[in-house]
Amino acid sequence: MSDIQRHHSDQRLSRLVIHGNMVYLAGLTADDRKQDMKGQTIEILAKIDKLLAEAGTSKSRMLTATIWVTDMRDKAKMDEAWIAWVDAKNVPARACVEARLGSPDTLVEIMVQAVK
Amino acid sequence: MSDIQRHHSDQRLSRLVIHGNMVYLAGLTADDRKQDMKGQTIEILAKIDKLLAEAGTSKSRMLTATIWVTDMRDKAKMDEAWIAWVDAKNVPARACVEARLGSPDTLVEIMVQAVK
Amino acid sequence: MSDIQRHHSDQRLSRLVIHGNMVYLAGLTADDRKQDMKGQTIEILAKIDKLLAEAGTSKSRMLTATIWVTDMRDKAKMDEAWIAWVDAKNVPARACVEARLGSPDTLVEIMVQAVK
């Protein structure tokens, strides 16, 4: 068995990669893109919870997060969901910048690194 | 000798940084910018192969990849080259977002982390 | 005590996260946004110096840097400050792309990973 574990892979990417005690998630987006930025963020954060649990860790052990939003004027909506979700005593190093994403109705994408 | 090895450095950046068993590449772009997004991606992926080999590893051991494309509508062209190149059983955690890059004819930039 | 140390945290992010010998900084921006891109970069780099020192390391031990600029045509101004600042013999793997940032007058944001 390889020392690198890859899960939820398609032909382009793995959503979860584990090496030693390091856990890397792909840039995750919402499936239900009719939602606004807050709704999409909530859906993504639930995906992160699930993947981190699968790796044997949790949001309290995130090291970094990179967040892309399609419209910086709506960043407060993403932050509302983010602040309600994070472990307030264990927040990661984070960057949030604006970018157009994989489809026009994808409003936010989040990529995190965590440790077991 | 330092425990950090840096190769192909100019005054701003190193294209290859090695620390322990971790390998970090710079954001790489194509030299021949007359190529379309697929051609530029193929050139970049060949550079990644070469740098990872120099570090004693390969594309099969990538952990993460961040890809920037200048026009998300052309993402399929990048993906065509990407899918043909990656080790299908060992794909990294990946994010792909839109961004303007270092020169107007630079259509794609890729930054990866791998392990030896 | 946790094996992850987090410093300069607010409700959303920690500016400095330390795990083992790895050091992760948040995406940092300038406070004085009346400055041009060079001035803002100089202010950010001073913040990086301070945070890395607090973690017991320095700019000579950066592994990666991601730089976002709001206008790629001004990248040379960022690079001028960057080149004057980096340890010329120990430059990190780096990517620099264009993105709109947290406020309209934020012209540059930098996120680094380093090792102790």
ipTM: 0.96
Do the chains contact at C19 and A115, CB–CB below 8 Å?
yes
Whether residue A116 lies within 8 A of chain C, CB to CB, comes out as no
> If we measure between CA atoms, which residue out of C20, C13, C16 comes closest to residue A90?
C13
With 0-12 / 13-18 / 19 or more C-beta atoms within 10 angstroms meaning exposed / middle / buried, residue C48 is: buried
Mean pLDDT across C1-14: 93
Do the chains contact at A19 and B97, CB–CB below 8 Å?
no
Do the chains contact at A12 and B86, CB–CB below 8 Å?
yes
CA angle in degrees (0–180, nearest 5) for C86-A27-A92? 60
> Is there a contact between A45 and A39 (Cβ–Cβ < 8 Å)?
no
Q: With H, G, I as helix, E, B as strand and everything else as coil, classify residue C48.
A: helix
> Is there a contact between A101 and A33 (Cβ–Cβ < 8 Å)?
no
- For chain A, what is the HEC assignment? CCCEEEEEECCCCEEEEEECCEEEECCECCCCCCCCHHHHHHHHHHHHHHHHHHCCCCHHHEEEEEEEECCHHHHHHHHHHHHHHCCCCCCCEEEEEECCCCCCCCCEEEEEEEEC
Q: How far is B94 from chain C (nearest CA, A)?
A: 16
CA dihedral A110, A116, B2, B8 (to 10 degrees): -30
Do the chains contact at C92 and B68, CB–CB below 8 Å?
no
For the domain B4-115, what is the CATH superfamily, name and number? Answer: RutC-like (3.30.1330.40)
Tokens of A94: 């984070």
pLDDT at residue A6 above 60?
Answer: yes
Tell me the percentage of chain C whose pLDDT exceeds 90.
98
pLDDT at residue A2 above 90?
Answer: no
- What rounded mean pLDDT belongs to chain C? 97
Q: Which residues of B touch A10 (CB under 8 A)?
A: 91
- Convert the pLDDT of each residue in C13-58 to its tens digit: 999 999 999 999 999 999 999 999 999 999 999 999 999 999 999 9
Query: Which pLDDT score is estimated for C65?
Result: 98
Do the chains contact at C115 and B19, CB–CB below 8 Å?
yes
- Convert the pLDDT of each residue in A89-101 to its tens digit: 999 999 999 999 9
> Which residues, 6+ apart, have CB-to-CB distance to C50 below 8 Å?
none
With 0-12 / 13-18 / 19 or more C-beta atoms within 10 angstroms meaning exposed / middle / buried, residue C58 is: middle
pLDDT at residue B1 above 80?
Answer: no
| Size of the A and B interface in Cβ pairs below 8 Å | 74
Q: How far is C15 from chain A (nearest CA, A)?
A: 6
Q: Which residues of B touch A54 (CB under 8 A)?
A: none
Query: Which pLDDT score is estimated for C2?
Result: 80
> If we measure between CA atoms, which residue out of B110, B94, B65 comes closest to residue A14?
B94
**Chains touching A by CB (3 or more pairs below 8 Å):** B, C
Residue C25 parent element (H or E): strand C22-25
Q: How confident is the model at residue A60 (pLDDT cuts 50, 70, 90)?
A: very high
Exposed e or buried b per residue across A24-36, where buried means at least 16 C-beta atoms within 10 angstroms of its C-beta: bbbbbbbeeeebe
Mean pLDDT across B5-23: 98
> If we measure between CA atoms, which residue out of A10, A92, B16 comes closest to residue C94?
B16
Q: With H, G, I as helix, E, B as strand and everything else as coil, classify residue C37.
A: helix
Do the chains contact at B91 and A12, CB–CB below 8 Å?
yes
Which chain C residue shows the shortest CA-CA distance from B5?
A: C90
- Convert the pLDDT of each residue in B21-65 to its tens digit: 999 999 999 999 999 999 999 999 999 999 999 999 999 999 999
pLDDT at residue C11 above 60?
Answer: yes
DSSP letter string, B34-89 = TS-HHHHHHHHHHHHHHHHHHTT--GGGEEEEEEEES-GGGHHHHHHHHHHHS-TT
> Is there a contact between B24 and C114 (Cβ–Cβ < 8 Å)?
no
Whether residue A53 lies within 8 A of chain C, CB to CB, comes out as no
Mean pLDDT across C56-73: 98
- Please report the sign of the dihedral spanned by the C-alpha atoms of residue B110, residue B5, residue A63, residue B88: positive
Query: Which pLDDT score is estimated for A1?
Result: 55
Do the chains contact at A97 and C13, CB–CB below 8 Å?
no
Q: Which residues of A touch B65 (CB under 8 A)?
A: 13
CA angle in degrees (0–180, nearest 5) for A12-A18-A19? 115
Q: How far is B10 from chain C (nearest CA, A)?
A: 8
| Size of the B and C interface in Cβ pairs below 8 Å | 74
Ramachandran quadrant class, C8 (left: phi over 0; alpha: psi -120 to 50; beta: rest): left
How far apart, in whole angstroms, are the C-alpha atoms of residue B112 and residue B94?
Answer: 9
Whether residue A86 lies within 8 A of chain C, CB to CB, comes out as yes
> If we measure between CA atoms, which residue out of C34, C11, C15 comes closest to residue C25?
C15
pLDDT at residue C1 above 80?
Answer: no
Q: How far is C116 from chain B (nearest CA, A)?
A: 11
